[in-house]
Amino acid sequence: MTTTLGPLAPPSTRPQTARPGPVPDGAGVEVYETVAGYAAALDRFRDAGLTVGVVPTMGALHDGHCSLIQRAAHECDVVAVSIFVNPTQFGDPADLAAYPRTWQSDLASVEAAGGRVVFSPSVAEMYPEPPGDPGSGASVPELSGRWEGASRPGHFDGVATVVVKLLTAAGPCRAYFGEKDFQQLAVVRRVVRDHSLPAEIIGCDTVRAEDGLALSSRNVRLSPDQRRAALVLSRALRTGAALVAAGETRGPIVESAMARVVADEPLVDLDYAAAVDADDLEPAPSCDGRRPVRLIIAATVGGVRLIDNLDPLGAPRAPGRLRPAEPVELSFT
């Protein structure tokens, strides 16, 4: 089924917008709800000689998602954005139920960022097997055991499975994913390679609020006090990166410095703060620059799980991004 924006009536199964803001009239975004319709539409674009970029999302779009769409629009002729809150990657039903849904404003955001197609399937469309039948899912055990995978069992199986389904439906394309979900990006690269999917995976920079908080659809669930407290994640990453910039090479020392920063914030429960190998996500014993390293962090703030990461050895950053060299309090013990 294809719908063109304007008098678009969201299906009854789709939650109504939670964010005010009109959907522009006469917009040219095409909405597909079936795999077959979506696949055929992207085939038609390719048959016409156009390149396709895809941006998989779970909706509740913010400037981070829009940066992916904008980059895709810059690099591809046609951009398709999938909006699908994938139930198989949520372990906690309450988290799934609380996930924000902002359909109307999402459509406006896709259009404003340069997207032309929206794929918005139902759960039954994506998972047609009968209830209780697990289907033949995808899995990347090598990259899924630690960090987010340890705290959210089954999460990356759900991610790997839906990415295989979404990219199979999309066909040959460039697919844009955020480095914000660093472990997810590694899982995606691996599952695409293992399944020989015809997609080139493009990792995109994390977009942050002015004060450094990484944008996330979950941020809307934070109270003002919790949002202020959540800044400790990016502060801890900066502290770790500043230690590395100052010559500290021992991964565990960097990790404990980050953990100490978080410990000072009573509203925040740290899950992990780690220095990891950027390729295999194993703990990095050394940050001496011989292997690519990533600082990763996850914490819960008022019941909301937040994650962030930073390249401590990264090149000088553009304004608005976190600079490891920014002055922070250093401690080498």
Q: First CA to last CA across the chain, in angstroms?
A: 61
214 contributes a contact to ligand AMP by CB under 6 A: yes
Torsion on CA atoms 297, 301, 305, 307, rounded to nearest 10: -30
Binding string to ligand AMP for residues 50 to 89, with x set by CB under 6 A, is what? -------xx-----xx-xx---------------------
**Shortest gap between Cβ of 167 and ligand AMP (angstroms)?**
13
Among the listed ranges 41-49, 204-212, 254-262, 287-295, the one in contact with ligand AMP (CB under 6 A) is: 204-212
Annotation marks residue 65 as catalytic:
yes
192 contributes a contact to ligand AMP by CB under 6 A: no
**Shortest gap between Cβ of 281 and ligand AMP (angstroms)?**
15
Query: Which is nearest to 62 in space by CA: 166, 165, 180, 167?
Result: 180
181 contributes a contact to ligand AMP by CB under 6 A: yes
> CA-CA distance, 187 to 161, in Å (whole number)?
11
127: phi > 0 → left, psi -120 to 50 → alpha, else beta; which?
Answer: beta
**Shortest gap between Cβ of 61 and ligand AMP (angstroms)?**
7
Evaluate whether 163 touches 192 at the Cβ level (below 8 Å): yes
Evaluate whether 36 touches 2 at the Cβ level (below 8 Å): no
Instruction: From the candidates 62, 65, 74, 155, give the one annotated as an active-site residue.
Output: 65
**Shortest gap between Cβ of 89 and ligand AMP (angstroms)?**
9
Among the listed ranges 1-9, 162-170, 177-185, 282-290, the one in contact with ligand AMP (CB under 6 A) is: 177-185
> CA-CA distance, 80 to 88, in Å (whole number)?
22
- Kindly tell me which residue out of 107, 204, 296, 299 binds ligand AMP, with binding defined by CB under 6 A: 204
Q: Which residues are catalytic?
A: 65
